Amino acid sequence: MSENERVQIRLKENGSIRIKGTVDIVDADGNVIESKSDFSLCRCGQSKEKPWCDGAHKACGFEAPEGINS
Ligand code: FES
């Protein structure tokens, strides 16, 4: 993987975990379920489409723990 292909994981302020780049989604047995690019994972626990963020963090007023809020 080259420098230009590095995956970035960004903690959105009081929101999701944004994945920028292509990653393999792997189940508990180590099987690749799918490869996915540029998506957001739920961090608030309120998404109806877990593990994906569906925007529910806005309605529930999610506040990320202090210190990892950037
Ligand atoms: S972080 Fe967006 S729905 Fe949970």
Looking at residue 69, what is its pLDDT? 57
Distance (Å) from CA 1 to ligand 1 centroid: 29
Rounded to the nearest 5 degrees, what angle is found at the Cα of 66, between the Cα atoms of 68 and 38?
30
Q: Answer whether residue 65 is part of any domain.
A: no
Expressed in angstroms and rounded, the spacing between residue 16 Cα and the centre of ligand 1 is 5
Rounded Cα distance between 44 and 56, Å, is 8
Residue 66 domain-assigned (yes or no):
no
Structure confidence at residue 2 (pLDDT) = 59
Whether 69 is covered by a domain: the verdict is no
Mean pLDDT in consecutive groups of 10 residues from the start of the chain, 70 residues: 79 95 95 95 96 95 77
Domain that holds residue 13: 3-60
Residue 49, in any domain of the structure: yes
Confirm whether 68 is domain-assigned: no
Task: Judge whether 67 lies within some domain.
Answer: no
Ligand 1 site, residue 56, Cβ cutoff 6 A: yes
Specify the CATH number for the domain of residue 31: 3.40.5
Ligand 1 site-directed mutation target among 13, 53, 68, most atoms within 8 Å of CB: 53
Domain count, the chain: 1
